[in-house]
Amino acid sequence: MPVLVIANSKGGTGRTTLAGEISVGLGFRRGGRVVLADLCREQTLRAWWAERSDPNPQMFDGSNAQALRQWLAGDAISDGSWVIVDTPSHDLAATAAAISLADFVLIPVGDTAFEMPPAIRTAAECVRLEKRFAFVFTRVGLSRETVSWLLQLVKHGPMLEAFIRNLSAYGRLDRPGLSVFDAGGDKEAREDMLQVVECVLDEFPDERRFARKGASIYDIQNFRRWAGRGALTS
Ligand SMILES: Nc1ncnc2c1ncn2[C@@H]1O[C@H](COP(=O)(O)OP(=O)(O)OP(=O)(O)O)[C@@H](O)[C@H]1O
Ligand SMILES: [Mg+2]
Protein backbone atom coordinates (compact mmCIF):
# COMPACT_ATOMS: atom_id res chain seq x y z
CA MET A 1 0.00 0.00 0.00
CA PRO A 2 1.91 3.02 -1.24
CA VAL A 3 2.11 6.05 1.05
CA LEU A 4 2.63 9.28 -0.85
CA VAL A 5 3.58 12.28 1.29
CA ILE A 6 3.27 15.83 -0.07
CA ALA A 7 5.75 17.98 1.81
CA ASN A 8 7.46 21.34 1.73
CA SER A 9 8.51 23.28 4.81
CA LYS A 10 7.33 26.47 3.07
CA GLY A 11 3.62 27.34 3.21
CA GLY A 12 1.44 28.12 0.22
CA THR A 13 3.38 25.91 -2.19
CA GLY A 14 0.30 24.00 -3.35
CA ARG A 15 0.57 20.93 -1.12
CA THR A 16 -3.11 20.74 -0.25
CA THR A 17 -4.13 21.32 -3.85
CA LEU A 18 -1.79 18.58 -5.01
CA ALA A 19 -2.92 16.13 -2.32
CA GLY A 20 -6.61 16.63 -3.08
CA GLU A 21 -6.27 16.54 -6.85
CA ILE A 22 -3.93 13.55 -6.92
CA SER A 23 -6.28 11.61 -4.67
CA VAL A 24 -9.16 12.07 -7.09
CA GLY A 25 -6.92 11.53 -10.15
CA LEU A 26 -5.42 8.33 -8.76
CA GLY A 27 -8.86 6.96 -7.99
CA PHE A 28 -9.83 7.63 -11.58
CA ARG A 29 -6.67 6.37 -13.20
CA ARG A 30 -6.11 3.31 -11.11
CA GLY A 31 -9.40 2.53 -9.42
CA GLY A 32 -9.29 1.16 -5.90
CA ARG A 33 -9.41 2.98 -2.63
CA VAL A 34 -7.49 6.17 -1.97
CA VAL A 35 -7.20 7.41 1.61
CA LEU A 36 -6.30 10.99 2.44
CA ALA A 37 -4.59 12.02 5.65
CA ASP A 38 -4.54 15.67 6.69
CA LEU A 39 -1.72 16.30 9.15
CA CYS A 40 -1.94 20.06 8.77
CA ARG A 41 -3.23 22.17 11.66
CA GLU A 42 -5.61 24.16 9.47
CA GLN A 43 -7.27 20.96 8.23
CA THR A 44 -8.09 22.55 4.87
CA LEU A 45 -7.87 19.25 3.03
CA ARG A 46 -10.35 17.68 5.44
CA ALA A 47 -12.71 20.63 5.02
CA TRP A 48 -12.49 20.27 1.24
CA TRP A 49 -13.03 16.53 1.43
CA ALA A 50 -15.99 16.86 3.79
CA GLU A 51 -17.94 18.56 1.02
CA ARG A 52 -17.45 15.71 -1.43
CA SER A 53 -20.07 13.07 -1.77
CA ASP A 54 -17.95 10.35 -3.40
CA PRO A 55 -16.92 7.23 -1.54
CA ASN A 56 -13.40 7.79 -2.90
CA PRO A 57 -11.12 9.29 -1.63
CA GLN A 58 -11.73 8.49 2.00
CA MET A 59 -10.28 10.46 4.89
CA PHE A 60 -8.10 9.11 7.68
CA ASP A 61 -9.75 9.96 10.97
CA GLY A 62 -6.74 11.51 12.70
CA SER A 63 -4.43 14.46 12.31
CA ASN A 64 -0.97 13.50 13.48
CA ALA A 65 1.81 11.29 12.14
CA GLN A 66 1.84 9.03 15.19
CA ALA A 67 -1.84 8.11 14.81
CA LEU A 68 -1.28 7.55 11.11
CA ARG A 69 1.73 5.34 11.80
CA GLN A 70 -0.36 3.16 14.11
CA TRP A 71 -3.12 2.88 11.56
CA LEU A 72 -0.67 1.99 8.80
CA ALA A 73 0.89 -0.68 11.02
CA GLY A 74 -2.52 -2.29 11.60
CA ASP A 75 -3.79 -4.83 9.16
CA ALA A 76 -6.85 -2.79 8.25
CA ILE A 77 -4.93 -1.48 5.33
CA SER A 78 -3.29 -4.36 3.54
CA ASP A 79 -5.90 -4.00 0.83
CA GLY A 80 -4.25 -2.21 -2.06
CA SER A 81 -5.28 1.26 -1.00
CA TRP A 82 -3.16 4.32 -1.64
CA VAL A 83 -2.56 6.80 1.13
CA ILE A 84 -1.93 10.47 0.31
CA VAL A 85 -0.65 12.62 3.15
CA ASP A 86 -0.88 16.43 3.36
CA THR A 87 1.62 17.99 5.77
CA PRO A 88 2.03 21.23 7.74
CA SER A 89 4.47 24.01 6.85
CA HIS A 90 6.93 25.81 9.15
CA ASP A 91 7.24 22.73 11.34
CA LEU A 92 10.21 20.68 10.27
CA ALA A 93 9.67 18.12 13.06
CA ALA A 94 6.10 17.46 11.90
CA THR A 95 7.23 17.39 8.28
CA ALA A 96 9.95 14.88 9.14
CA ALA A 97 7.48 12.72 11.09
CA ALA A 98 5.24 12.57 8.03
CA ILE A 99 8.14 11.93 5.66
CA SER A 100 9.23 9.02 7.84
CA LEU A 101 5.97 7.25 6.86
CA ALA A 102 6.45 7.76 3.13
CA ASP A 103 7.19 5.38 0.31
CA PHE A 104 7.57 8.41 -1.90
CA VAL A 105 7.64 12.14 -1.20
CA LEU A 106 6.49 14.83 -3.60
CA ILE A 107 7.90 18.29 -2.92
CA PRO A 108 5.87 20.95 -4.74
CA VAL A 109 7.99 23.94 -5.67
CA GLY A 110 6.87 27.20 -7.21
CA ASP A 111 8.87 29.12 -9.77
CA THR A 112 10.39 31.95 -7.75
CA ALA A 113 13.93 31.96 -6.40
CA PHE A 114 12.91 32.24 -2.73
CA GLU A 115 11.16 28.86 -3.01
CA MET A 116 14.49 27.12 -3.41
CA PRO A 117 15.90 26.99 0.17
CA PRO A 118 12.79 25.43 1.81
CA ALA A 119 12.46 22.92 -1.04
CA ILE A 120 16.09 21.90 -0.66
CA ARG A 121 15.69 21.65 3.12
CA THR A 122 12.72 19.35 2.64
CA ALA A 123 14.69 17.27 0.14
CA ALA A 124 17.52 17.03 2.70
CA GLU A 125 15.04 15.57 5.21
CA CYS A 126 14.08 12.94 2.63
CA VAL A 127 17.74 12.07 2.12
CA ARG A 128 18.34 11.91 5.88
CA LEU A 129 15.34 9.59 6.32
CA GLU A 130 16.35 7.58 3.23
CA LYS A 131 13.09 8.28 1.42
CA ARG A 132 12.63 8.49 -2.31
CA PHE A 133 11.44 11.91 -3.41
CA ALA A 134 10.98 14.21 -6.36
CA PHE A 135 10.39 17.91 -6.74
CA VAL A 136 7.28 18.75 -8.69
CA PHE A 137 7.25 22.12 -10.32
CA THR A 138 3.98 23.96 -9.60
CA ARG A 139 2.32 27.23 -10.55
CA VAL A 140 4.58 27.30 -13.56
CA GLY A 141 4.43 30.37 -15.77
CA LEU A 142 6.45 30.70 -18.94
CA SER A 143 9.41 32.96 -18.41
CA ARG A 144 13.15 32.91 -18.76
CA GLU A 145 13.38 33.07 -14.99
CA THR A 146 11.27 29.94 -14.65
CA VAL A 147 13.58 27.94 -16.87
CA SER A 148 16.75 29.07 -15.11
CA TRP A 149 15.16 28.26 -11.76
CA LEU A 150 14.29 24.80 -13.01
CA LEU A 151 17.85 24.23 -14.20
CA GLN A 152 19.16 25.14 -10.76
CA LEU A 153 16.78 22.93 -8.87
CA VAL A 154 17.60 19.74 -10.75
CA LYS A 155 21.08 19.90 -9.25
CA HIS A 156 19.51 19.26 -5.85
CA GLY A 157 17.38 16.22 -6.51
CA PRO A 158 15.17 14.44 -9.03
CA MET A 159 12.40 16.39 -10.70
CA LEU A 160 9.12 14.74 -11.59
CA GLU A 161 8.71 14.54 -15.36
CA ALA A 162 5.46 16.44 -15.09
CA PHE A 163 4.64 19.93 -13.93
CA ILE A 164 1.61 21.92 -12.93
CA ARG A 165 0.85 25.15 -14.67
CA ASN A 166 -0.27 28.31 -12.98
CA LEU A 167 -3.99 27.97 -13.67
CA SER A 168 -6.81 29.61 -11.81
CA ALA A 169 -8.78 26.36 -12.17
CA TYR A 170 -6.83 24.91 -9.24
CA GLY A 171 -8.61 27.45 -7.07
CA ARG A 172 -11.48 24.98 -7.26
CA LEU A 173 -9.87 23.34 -4.27
CA ASP A 174 -10.55 26.55 -2.36
CA ARG A 175 -14.19 25.91 -3.08
CA PRO A 176 -15.46 23.09 -0.92
CA GLY A 177 -15.39 19.70 -2.50
CA LEU A 178 -14.51 20.56 -6.08
CA SER A 179 -11.69 18.98 -8.07
CA VAL A 180 -10.48 19.57 -11.62
CA PHE A 181 -11.51 15.96 -12.25
CA ASP A 182 -15.14 16.70 -11.57
CA ALA A 183 -17.55 17.34 -14.40
CA GLY A 184 -16.95 20.87 -15.63
CA GLY A 185 -13.33 20.84 -14.41
CA ASP A 186 -10.71 22.64 -16.50
CA LYS A 187 -9.20 20.44 -19.24
CA GLU A 188 -5.65 21.83 -19.00
CA ALA A 189 -5.57 21.55 -15.23
CA ARG A 190 -6.84 17.99 -15.43
CA GLU A 191 -4.20 17.07 -18.01
CA ASP A 192 -1.43 18.45 -15.80
CA MET A 193 -2.67 16.53 -12.79
CA LEU A 194 -3.05 13.31 -14.75
CA GLN A 195 0.54 13.67 -15.95
CA VAL A 196 1.58 13.92 -12.32
CA VAL A 197 -0.47 10.82 -11.49
CA GLU A 198 1.22 8.93 -14.36
CA CYS A 199 4.65 9.86 -13.03
CA VAL A 200 3.70 8.79 -9.52
CA LEU A 201 2.50 5.44 -10.90
CA ASP A 202 5.86 5.12 -12.67
CA GLU A 203 7.46 5.13 -9.24
CA PHE A 204 5.42 2.07 -8.28
CA PRO A 205 5.71 -0.38 -11.16
CA ASP A 206 3.78 -3.05 -9.25
CA GLU A 207 0.82 -0.70 -9.10
CA ARG A 208 0.77 -0.22 -12.86
CA ARG A 209 -1.01 -3.50 -13.44
CA PHE A 210 -4.02 -2.11 -11.58
CA ALA A 211 -4.30 0.93 -13.81
CA ARG A 212 -7.53 1.11 -15.73
CA LYS A 213 -7.37 -0.19 -19.26
CA GLY A 214 -7.86 2.54 -21.81
CA ALA A 215 -7.69 5.38 -19.32
CA SER A 216 -5.31 7.40 -21.42
CA ILE A 217 -4.73 10.91 -20.25
CA TYR A 218 -5.24 12.04 -23.81
CA ASP A 219 -8.55 10.30 -24.15
CA ILE A 220 -11.00 12.83 -22.91
CA GLN A 221 -13.90 10.81 -24.29
CA ASN A 222 -13.07 8.00 -21.93
CA PHE A 223 -12.66 10.48 -19.18
CA ARG A 224 -16.13 11.85 -19.73
CA ARG A 225 -17.61 8.37 -19.72
CA TRP A 226 -16.25 7.86 -16.21
CA ALA A 227 -16.88 11.39 -15.10
CA GLY A 228 -20.59 10.92 -14.51
CA ARG A 229 -22.74 13.63 -13.09
CA GLY A 230 -20.49 14.94 -10.37
CA ALA A 231 -17.13 13.68 -9.27
CA LEU A 232 -15.40 10.58 -10.50
CA THR A 233 -15.89 7.43 -8.53
CA SER A 234 -13.77 4.32 -8.57
N1 LIG B 1 -1.00 25.32 -10.00
C2 LIG B 1 -1.64 26.34 -9.41
N3 LIG B 1 -2.03 27.41 -10.13
C4 LIG B 1 -2.67 28.44 -9.55
N5 LIG B 1 -3.00 28.49 -8.26
C6 LIG B 1 -2.65 27.46 -7.48
C7 LIG B 1 -1.97 26.31 -8.00
N8 LIG B 1 -1.75 25.45 -6.99
C9 LIG B 1 -2.28 26.01 -5.90
N10 LIG B 1 -2.82 27.21 -6.17
C11 LIG B 1 -3.45 28.14 -5.24
O12 LIG B 1 -2.44 28.58 -4.33
C13 LIG B 1 -2.97 28.70 -3.03
C14 LIG B 1 -2.14 27.83 -2.08
O15 LIG B 1 -2.32 26.48 -2.44
P16 LIG B 1 -2.45 25.34 -1.33
O17 LIG B 1 -3.41 25.74 -0.28
O18 LIG B 1 -2.67 24.07 -2.05
O19 LIG B 1 -0.96 25.37 -0.76
P20 LIG B 1 -0.43 24.79 0.64
O21 LIG B 1 1.02 24.51 0.44
O22 LIG B 1 -1.29 23.67 1.08
O23 LIG B 1 -0.64 26.07 1.59
P24 LIG B 1 -0.75 26.15 3.19
O25 LIG B 1 0.61 26.54 3.68
O26 LIG B 1 -1.78 27.24 3.41
O27 LIG B 1 -1.21 24.82 3.71
C28 LIG B 1 -4.43 28.30 -3.11
O29 LIG B 1 -5.21 29.46 -3.21
C30 LIG B 1 -4.51 27.47 -4.38
O31 LIG B 1 -5.79 27.56 -4.98
MG1 LIG C 1 -2.23 23.29 2.88
Distance 111 CA to ligand 1 centre (A): 13
Instruction: Find the length of the chain.
Output: 234
**Residue environment code for 39-74, b if the CB has 16+ CB neighbours within 10 A, otherwise e:** bbeeebbbebbeebebebbbbbeeeebeebeebbee
Global pTM reads 0.89
The closest-lying atom of ligand 1 relative to the alpha carbon of residue 45 is 22
Task: Indicate whether 87 belongs to any domain.
Answer: yes
Domain span including residue 83: 3-227
The CA distance from 150 to 31, in Å, is 33
| pLDDT beyond 80 at 62 | yes
In this predicted model, what pLDDT tens digit does every residue of 110-169 receive, in sequence order?
A: 887 788 899 999 999 999 999 999 999 999 887 888 888 888 888 899 999 999 999 999
Ligand 1 environment, Cβ below 6 A: 11-17, 40, 89, 138-139, 164, 166-167, 170-171, 173-174
Ligand (nearest to CA of 8): 1
- The answer to whether residue 82 is domain-embedded is yes
- Say if 234 falls within a structural domain: no
The CATH number for 192's domain is 3.40.50.300
Quick check: is 232 in a domain? no
Nearest ligand, CA of residue 172?
1
Percentages of the chain per state (helix, strand, coil), in multiples of 5:
45, 15, 40
Query: 3-class SS at 160?
Result: strand
Distance CA 146, CA 123 (A): 20
Split at pLDDT 50, 70, 90, the class of 232 is very low
pLDDT at 213: 47
- Among the bound ligands, name the one nearest to the CA of residue 137: 1
C-beta separation of 56 from 234 below 8 A: yes
Atom of ligand 1 nearest to the CA of 189: 1
